[in-house]
Structure 1
Amino acid sequence: MLGHSKLSLLATTTLLLLAASETVTAQSVSDIVTPAFFDGIIGQADLSCAGKNFYSRDAFLTAVGSYPGFGTTGTSDDYKREIAAFFAHVTHETGHFCYIEEIDGASKDYCDETNTQYPCVSGKNYYGRGPIQISWNFNYGPAGVSIGFDGLGSPETVANDVIISFKTAFWYWMNNVHSIITSGQGFGATIRAINGAIECDGGNSAAVQARVGYYQDYCNQLGVAPGDNLTC
């Protein structure tokens, strides 16, 4: 049985290793997501865009520190492909970081009343917000629990706090997309994981091609082959 001093030392060492892991992750990703790369995306957004003064590379790097598996799984090429895929979807969803909230989102119903685990709160709307445009009560609820904000009672936090905003994107990505792109299933499978019901299988081929175009562009910028199975 470990003594109190050894337990304390073990706990301290564990915390230091976790902190070091987050630091290494942020540094590794920051080597790929350079200021020039990030600015090259957000720089295409019009000056009048709300997201222009909201999203930032610093906020992205701060948020990614809480998700040490992002952009650090597999080989260096895998790192780059995952990062290229993430930014391809973010670019498409937000218009090069122009939008914080979904256009006309408040007029749309994103409440799944059959989900009793994460019930909708009266007067609150769960339309798309943030880099990945997280939507629906069944996403806001668990995202809030994981990140540490009231996703059901205060979904607007995603549009007001840029760190939380990026964290919702990473939360969704790590739970639904990360294993797909890092296991070599191809970019097309990531489209299916994000908006497949609407865009895949001929649903909206223009949107699919737009996402693929961004992905190929970012892969080219990062110096990595995009791989196979690009569409869905």
Structure 2
Amino acid sequence: MRKRLLAIILAAIISAGATAVKAQNCGCAEGLCCSRWGYCGTGDDYCGTGCQQGPCNPPPALNNVSVADIVTPEFFNGIVDVAEDSCEGKNFYTRSAFLEALGPYPQFGRIGTVEDSNREIAAFFAHVTHETGLIKQQNHFVETDFCYIDEINGASRDYCDETNTQYPCNPNKGYYGRGPIQLSWNFNYGPAGESIGFDGLNSPETVSTDPVISFKTAVWYWVNSVQPVISQGFGATIRAINGALE
């Protein structure tokens, strides 16, 4: 009886594994959505933001807000000017690169009311300045904005999820935090590269050398992972970016 039960369990596990592999190819059955991660199912997690195939939810209506009119030169320079002259990000992160990066993402800062747009844009810059700020001076940290491009000591840390076979790691590359949102992990670099148009798995350093792509990774992550929860409050956006880290 025990052997038979074990055989049934093993068969179920193998069957589930085969289904997952098939799902990652986006060969979903009729009525199911292929999520941005390549899995089949229903509901907002599958048919919402990033849905690739199937009965995807229609995109939300956009308002007439101009992000450029909110993120004015005075607004942007007021942030970047806080960075010390020694900060590598001070001349890397520019308003023109940010605005160009918005091209493929017209939904950024344009959903809901004008107040909603202002709130979202403010939240975005609150996060990216936090992610790229804080420099250590002697025995204390000093708050600064847009200072770092790469994560401090990031190259010494392992951000390879070997269980993710859809986006396998290149053993000669590091997937540590880079750019305004500090994009991390192979399972983020892979799809970000596919969406934006660079080889995220084999050339992750592109995020550190091309300011437009750098901002695109931040906006890509934002509209896919943060924007869907922004109505839940600022705390939800923190969890969407840092998970259990904060």
Output the CA distance in 1 between the equivalents of 2:63 and 2:174: 34
Q: Which has the higher strand share?
A: 2
- How many Å apart are 1:198 and its aligned residue? 1.0
Q: For 1:192, what is the secondary structure of its paired residue?
A: helix
Instruction: Within 5 Å, give how 1:204-219 maps onto structure 2.
Output: none
Give 2:216's aligned residue: 167
- How many Å apart are 1:65 and its aligned residue? 1.8
- How many Å apart are 1:195 and its aligned residue? 0.8
Q: Does the alignment pair 1:69 with 2:87?
A: no
Letter in 2 for 1:197: A
Contact 2:63 2:112 survives alignment (8 Å): no
- How many Å apart are 1:31 and its aligned residue? 0.5
Give 1:224's aligned residue: none
Q: Could you list the per-position Cα deviations for residues 104-127 of structure 1 after superposition, in whole angstroms to 9, with x for gaps in the alignment?
A: 000000000000000000210000
- How many Å apart are 1:25 and its aligned residue? 9.1
Q: Could you list the per-position Cα deviations for residues 67-123 of structure 1 after superposition, in whole angstroms to 9, with x for gaps in the alignment?
A: 000011100000000000000000100011100000000000000000000000021
Of residues 156, 166, 175 in structure 1, which corresponds to 2:205? 156
Q: Which segments of 5 or more consecutive residues in structure 1 lack a partner in the other structure?
A: 1-23, 200-232
Q: For 1:153, what is the secondary structure of its paired residue?
A: coil
Give 1:142's aligned residue: 191
Of residues 78, 89, 100 in structure 2, which corresponds to 1:40? 78
Instruction: Within 5 Å, give how 1:179-194 maps onto structure 2.
Output: 179-181=228-230, 184-194=231-241
Contact 1:26 1:61 survives alignment (8 Å): no
TM-score with structure 2 length normalisation?
Answer: 0.69
Q: For 2:118, what is the secondary structure of its paired residue?
A: helix
Give 1:126's aligned residue: 175
Q: 1:93 to 1:25 in 2, by over 3 A?
A: farther
Q: 1:141 to 1:25 in 2, by over 3 A?
A: farther
Q: Does the alignment pair 1:104 with 2:153?
A: yes
Output the CA distance in 1 between the equivalents of 2:172 and 2:63: 39
Contact 2:63 2:111 survives alignment (8 Å): no
Output the CA distance in 2 between the equivalents of 1:157 and 1:25: 33
Superposition CA RMSD, Å: 1.5
TM-score with structure 1 length normalisation?
Answer: 0.73
Q: Could you list the per-position Cα deviations for residues 133-167 of structure 1 after superposition, in whole angstroms to 9, with x for gaps in the alignment?
A: 00000000000000000000000000000010000
Bigger Cα Rg: 2
Letter in 2 for 1:77: E
Output the CA distance in 1 between the equivalents of 2:192 and 2:213: 10
Contact 1:26 1:62 survives alignment (8 Å): no
- How many Å apart are 1:196 and its aligned residue? 2.7
Q: 1:25 to 1:109 in 2, by over 3 A?
A: farther
Q: How many residues align?
A: 174
Q: Which has the higher helix share?
A: 1
- How many Å apart are 1:179 and its aligned residue? 1.6
